[in-house]
Structure 1
Amino acid sequence: MKIFKKVMFLSFAIFALALSSCSNDNSSDDTDVPSSQEGFMKFKYNETVYTFSEPALMTSESINIMGSSGIDNTYKKISLWTPLNITTGSHPIVSDLSNLTTTYQASFSFMPEIENASATSGTINITANDDKKIEGTFSFSGTSKGKTFTVTEGSFRIIKW
C-alpha cells in the first residue's frame, strides 16, 4: 500500500509539473495584442480606448463589419460598411445610406448619448483582404442630436468563415 501511495503521489507531482509548464502565461506586456487568428475591433473615443472582441461579418448587398458591447444605456457599436468587391487601400467614408453597394460608410452608437449615427467624414483603410480575414484601420466623425463625435485610432481584423 505504501508503494501505491508513493506511485500515486509521484504521478500526481509529474502531472502537475507538466501542466504548469504548459500553462499560458499572460504576464507579458502583449496581453492587449490579439493573436493573428483572432478577430477584434479597437478604437479611441473621448480619449479612451475601447476593444470589441470577435466582431461580426455580415453580407447582403454590402459587407458590414460590426463590433459591439453592452446593452441598453451601456450599448456601444461601430459598423463599417463596404462594397462586396472590397479592395485594399484607403477609402473615404461617404454618408449615403441609399448607396451601400458602392460606398464605404460607418455608423456609431455610444449610448445613451449617441444612437446609430452615421459618420459624415473619415476613412476606412483596408490593409488585407484574403480568404481568411479582412484587416484595416479607420477614423471618422459625425454629428448626432447637435453633438459632434470623433472616433480615432480605429483598427480591426475580422476572421472570415
Structure 2
Amino acid sequence: MKIFKKVMFLSFAVLALVMSSCSSDNSSDDDSDQTSQEEFIKFKYNGTVYNFDPSVSTSLNLLVAGSSGIDDTYKRVSLWMPLNLSVGNHTVVYDLSQLTSTYQVTFSFMPEFNNVDATSGNINITLINDKKIEGTFNFSGTKSGKTFTVTEGSFRVPRL
C-alpha cells in the first residue's frame, strides 16, 4: 500500500508540474498583442532619446504626458490636444485662450527649462481606435534667449 501511495503522489506531482508548465495555444497571440499595446511617449532632445511611461488624463482637453527625475533632473513633455482630436497632422500653437481646440505642448528639462510652452511644431495623430491613440510629434520654443528643439517624438496611449 505504501508503494501505491508513493506512485500516486509522484504521478500527481508530475501531472501538476506538466500542467503548470503548459500554456494555451494562443499564448503567442496574447504576447504579441501585449507588445503591440505597449504604452510609451518618447522623443529625442540634444541627440539623446528619452522614453517615458505615459500618463493620460482628460478634462477640457486630452493631456498625454511623460516625465522622469526630480528637482534639477526633472524632465517632462506634455502634449495638450482637443477632446475631439482627429487623425492627421496638427500645428502646435501657443494660445491659452483656445486650449480646448488647439494642439499645444509644454516642456521641462531642468535646470534649463521649466514648464516652457512650445511655439512651433506638429502633432501628427496616426491612429485612433476604441483602445488606443498613436501619433508622432516635434516642437521647439525659446525661453530667455535659449532655444529647445524636440524631434522624433512618438506616443501610444490608451484611449480614455
Give the TM interval when normalised to the shorter protein: 0.7 to 0.9
Structure 2 Cα separation of the partners of residues 102 and 74 of structure 1: 32
Identical-residue share of aligned pairs (%): 57
Letter in 2 for 1:111: M
Structure 2 Cα separation of the partners of residues 143 and 63 of structure 1: 24
Letter in 1 for 2:44: K
Aligned positions of 1:119-158 closer than 5 A: 119-158=118-157
- Show CA shifts across 1:19-52 (max 9, x none): 8998xxxxxxxxxxx8211210010000000000
Letter in 1 for 2:38: E
- Cα gap change, 1:52 to 1:12, in 2 (>3 Å): farther
Aligned positions of 1:16-27 closer than 5 A: none
Structure 2 Cα separation of the partners of residues 145 and 16 of structure 1: 65
2:87 alignment counterpart:
88
- Show CA shifts across 1:59-113 (max 9, x none): 1111111111111111110110111100000000011122111101111000111
Structure 2 Cα separation of the partners of residues 111 and 92 of structure 1: 26
Structure 1 segments of 4 or more deviating over 2 A?
A: 11-22
TM-score (norm 1): 0.79
Structure 2 Cα separation of the partners of residues 87 and 152 of structure 1: 21
Letter in 1 for 2:42: K
Structure 2 Cα separation of the partners of residues 132 and 138 of structure 1: 20
Between Structure 1 and Structure 2, which shows a larger proportion of helix residues? 2
2:41 alignment counterpart:
41
1:73 aligns with 2:72: yes
Residue 145 of structure 1: how far off its partner (Å): 2.1
Structure 1 Cα separation of the partners of residues 45 and 22 of structure 2: 40
Q: RMSD of aligned C-alpha atoms?
A: 2.8
Structure 2 Cα separation of the partners of residues 46 and 150 of structure 1: 8
1:35 alignment partner, SS class: helix
Letter in 2 for 1:73: D
TM-score (norm 2): 0.80
Contiguous gaps of at least 5 residues in structure 1: 23-33
**Length, aligned pairs only:** 154
Aligned positions of 1:52-71 closer than 5 A: 52-53=52-53, 55-71=54-70
Contiguous gaps of at least 5 residues in structure 2: 24-33
